[in-house]
Amino acid sequence: MSANIIHPVILCGGSGTRLWPKSRKEKPKPFLPLLGTRTLFRAACDRASDPAQFAPPMVVAGAAHIDLIKAQAPPTGLSIIVEPAARNTAPAIALAAARLDPDAIMLVCPSDHHIADEVAFQAAAAAAAKMASAGRLVAFGITPDRPETGYGYIKRGAALDDGFVIERFVEKPDLERAKAFLADGGYAWNGGIFVFRAGQLLEELTIHRPAMADAVLASVQSGREDGICFHPDAAMFEGIEGDSVDYAVMENTQNAAMVPASMGWSDIGDWSALQDALCDGNDASNQAPEKAELVDCSRVMVVSDGPRVSAIGLEDIIIVVDGDEVLVTHRGGTQKVGKLGGASNQ
């Protein structure tokens, strides 16, 4: 396999409860066609599917979703690592790294984000891969277009050939700081997309989280193959104290770098974010299926799995009909969806 080939590692751990009732425990967000006809998971596979640049993806997911993944897999095939338990991103990524050649370049992607400009994504992946080959742990730094308070930020430092050193990671800011970040120009969103040399990721994890690294490696050594699935040893993995790759590695390493990415990215974190991704810059537009009827409405989004929705005189309202659940929320309230009884008591 060419040394330039990138190995996509697609993480399917998110529950997407803020996109309830469409996203449900048995079929969460990654496996829904929230934008267009492809599911977010399938789109994540497809944008990293050019065999000239990418190997077939390695998917890390829980046992509950293996059938969905197999059903939605791209024709080029994939392999699956079945997480015995959810332990956040650092152990999940380390599982994949341990299954790859130490010199393999891995591109870690969430399975439930939207990226409008796939060419820009692929270019950023190529730039990041070059930096990773040269010993960097690389984060995609998403160019911000608004003072978002819902994301962590990356402050860039000195320029490198294909990106920048990361000066520091910044937790979700308040609005005032987010505005300052946007004005400053030196801050990017941390989109949770990373490029590593697999061996280096494991080496750094061993330095910063030795117990986690040991447990992951042991669970892989004692794991078993089952067709396209690999099952790490459950008991060893379940004992891990979970942590994000940001906390466990990226904030501790001396080799953190970032590649700027301006690619129409959204984490589709809640219904408002989905509406923003769908409205295509036209803030006053409605998003609704053809059979819906909207009278005197602006910035209204309708999602329905069957029933016709008729709306009159609404502004900034999102309506979701799914099976035995109907959600009607103001755009300003979509962060609270995951806390609703229907979403949290599944």
Q: Which residues bind a second copy (CB under 8 A)?
A: 21, 293, 295-296, 304, 306-314, 317, 319, 321, 323-330, 332-334, 336-337, 340-342
- Minimum CB–partner distance for residue 338 and a second copy (Å): 11
- Minimum CB–partner distance for residue 280 and a second copy (Å): 23
Contact 93, 205 (CB under 8 A): no
Dihedral sign, CA of 174, 175, 176, 179? positive
Residue closer to a second copy by CB (options 168, 336) is 336
Distance of CA 181 to the CA centre of its chain: 22
- Minimum CB–partner distance for residue 302 and a second copy (Å): 9
Q: What values do phi and psi take at 307, rounded to 5? A: -55, 145
Residue closer to a second copy by CB (options 217, 314) is 314
Cα distance between residue 301 and residue 299, in whole Å: 7
Cα distance between residue 151 and residue 202, in whole Å: 26
Residue closer to a second copy by CB (options 18, 47) is 18
Can you give 259-280 as a three-state secondary structure string?
EEECCCEECCCCHHHHHHHHHC
- Minimum CB–partner distance for residue 330 and a second copy (Å): 3
Q: Tell me which residue of 260, 219, 220 sits closest to 236, measured CA to CA.
A: 219
- Minimum CB–partner distance for residue 80 and a second copy (Å): 34
Cα distance between residue 195 and residue 106, in whole Å: 6
- Minimum CB–partner distance for residue 206 and a second copy (Å): 45
Residue closer to a second copy by CB (options 244, 335) is 335
Residue closer to a second copy by CB (options 174, 324) is 324
Report DSSP state, residue 151.
S
- Minimum CB–partner distance for residue 341 and a second copy (Å): 5
Tokens representing 89? Answer: 């991103």
Residue closer to a second copy by CB (options 201, 303) is 303
Cα distance between residue 111 and residue 41, in whole Å: 5
Q: Tell me which residue of 146, 145, 142 sits closest to 156, measured CA to CA.
A: 142
Residue closer to a second copy by CB (options 24, 156) is 24
